[in-house]
């Protein structure tokens, strides 16, 4: 972050003339949200200032239900320790970056021009995390998704629900055939029915 900041705003100019004439302060449309964001980030920090600064935990109260349960309380020493460590780190990196990009006026080269140690390259390519991520997570996730939506959702869930309806309709078509319109058949069925009912009655 600090590298970005120093290079863009304080580093050597490396803009050509034509573009330079266009540089001006951002329009209000961009500035106002920026101001608000800047202000908010400070406010947000203060709102929930650590206990040693007698912070009153406004933020915590906002989302009171969340913090009620977390119940983590750090003692002051730990708070001091954590704060100083992170602050020190920031200061150190800041000094380094200022030294490198502002004082020495070093300009980062284009990526193609770089031909340095493997470690830098590894860093520059973000440890190949993107590629790994693409290969290990994104692609499988998408193909899994396609599988689920075409197979499981369509073939099992929808088919099970629609199938219940279809089965009933199918049965309907079959059972309907018993109503064939022949009166002799009907009378025969009736006689069978009487016999059946009497049998059931005697059996049970």
Partner 1 sequence: MNILIIILLPFLSALLILLAGKDYSQRIALISAAASVIAIGVMMALFDKDATTITSIDLPWIKSMGVHFHLGADGLSLLMILICNVVTLISMYVSLGDTFSQHRLYFALLLLMQTFMNGVFTAQDLFLYYIFWELALIPAYFLLLIWGKGKDVKPATIKFFLFTLLGSLFMLVAIVWLGNIGSIADFSLATIYGLEIGTQEQLFVYGAFMLAYGIKTPLFPFHSWLPDTYTLAPAPVTIMLSGVMSKMALYSIIRFVLPVVPDAVEQYGIYVVYLATIGVMYASVIALTQKDLKRMFAYVSIAHVGLIAAGILTYSVLGIQGSLIQMAAHAINTVGLFFIAQILFRLKGNFDINCFGGLRQYMPVFAGLYMVIMFGSIGVPLTNGFVGEFIIFTSLYRLDVFAALIAGSGIILGAVYMLTSYQKIMLGPDTDTTLTDITNSDKTLLYCIACIVIITGLYPSWITSLCDVSVQNIIHPYLQK
Partner 2 sequence: MNTIILLAVTGIFSMFSGIFRQKQLALPAILIAFILALGMLTFGWIGNYDDILNNMLIFDNLAINFSLVIIFISIFIFIMSQYYYSDDIEHLTDLFALFVFSIIGGILLVSFQNLTMLFLGTEILSIPLYILAASNRRNLASNEAGLKYYLMGSFATCFLLLGITLIYGAYGSFDLTDIHTALATQGISSLFLTGVVLILCSFIFKLSAVPFHFWAPDVYHGAPTVLTAFVSTVVKVAVMGALLRFMAFIGNYNSEKWVILFMLVSVATMIFGTIVSIKQKNFKRLLAYSGMANVGFVLIAILTAGEGSSGYILYNLTAYSIASILAFTIYSTIKSQTGIDTIKGISGLVTHNKLLATGLLVSMLSFAGIPPLAGFFGKYFIIFSAVKAGDTWLAVIAILTSVVAAYNYLRISAYVVNDNNSIPVLKITTRYRIFIILCIALIIGGGILPDQLFGLLH
Cβ at position 73, least distance to partner 1 in Å: 17
Pick one of 56, 109, 145, 199: the residue that binds partner 1 (CB under 8 A).
Answer: 145
Does residue 62 belong to the site contacting partner 1 (CB under 8 A)? Answer: yes
Does residue 160 belong to the site contacting partner 2 (CB under 8 A)? Answer: no
Nearer to partner 1 by Cβ, of 18 and 69: the residue is 69
Cβ at position 41, least distance to partner 1 in Å: 11
Structure tokens at 148: 């689920």
Does residue 161 belong to the site contacting partner 1 (CB under 8 A)? Answer: yes
| Helix residue ranges per DSSP H, 50-158 | 58-62, 64-70, 76-97, 118-124, 129-133, 139-147
Kindly determine how many residues on this chain lie close enough to bind partner 2 according to the rule CB under 8 A.
26
Nearer to partner 2 by Cβ, of 9 and 182: the residue is 182
**What totals of helices (H) and strands (E) does the chain contain, helices first?**
11, 0
Does residue 21 belong to the site contacting partner 2 (CB under 8 A)? Answer: no
Does residue 165 belong to the site contacting partner 2 (CB under 8 A)? Answer: yes
Q: To the nearest 10°, report the CA torsion of 152, 154, 160, 162.
A: 170
Pick one of 84, 109, 146, 199: the residue that binds partner 1 (CB under 8 A).
Answer: 146
Element (H, E) at 4: helix 2-5
**Part of the chain binding partner 1 (CB under 8 A), chosen from 6-14, 110-118, 154-162, 190-198:** 154-162
C-alpha span between 110 and 107 (Å, rounded): 9
């Amino acid at each position: 972050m600090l590298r970005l900041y120093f290079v863009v705003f304080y580093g050597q100019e490396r803009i050509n003339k034509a573009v330079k004439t266009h540089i001006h302060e951002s329009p209000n449309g961009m500035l106002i949200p920026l101001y608000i964001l800047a202000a908010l980030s400070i406010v947000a920090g203060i709102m929930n200032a650590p206990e040693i600064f007698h912070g009153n935990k406004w933020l915590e109260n906002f989302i009171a239900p969340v913090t009620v349960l977390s119940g983590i309380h750090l003692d002051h020493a730990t708070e001091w320790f954590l704060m100083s460590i992170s602050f020190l780190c920031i200061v150190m990196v800041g000094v380094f970056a200022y030294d490198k990009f502002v004082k020495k006026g070093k300009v980062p080269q284009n990526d193609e021009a770089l031909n340095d140690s493997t470690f830098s390259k590894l860093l520059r390519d973000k440890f190949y995390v993107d590629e790994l991520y693409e290969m290990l997570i994104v692609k499988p996730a998408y193909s899994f998704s396609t599988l689920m939506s075409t197979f499981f959702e369509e073939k099992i869930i929808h088919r099970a629900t629609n199938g219940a309806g279809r089965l009933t309709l199918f049965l309907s078509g079959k059972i309907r055939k018993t109503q064939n319109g022949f009166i002799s058949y009907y009378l025969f069925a009736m006689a069978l029915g009487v016999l059946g009912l009497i049998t059931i009655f005697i059996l049970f």
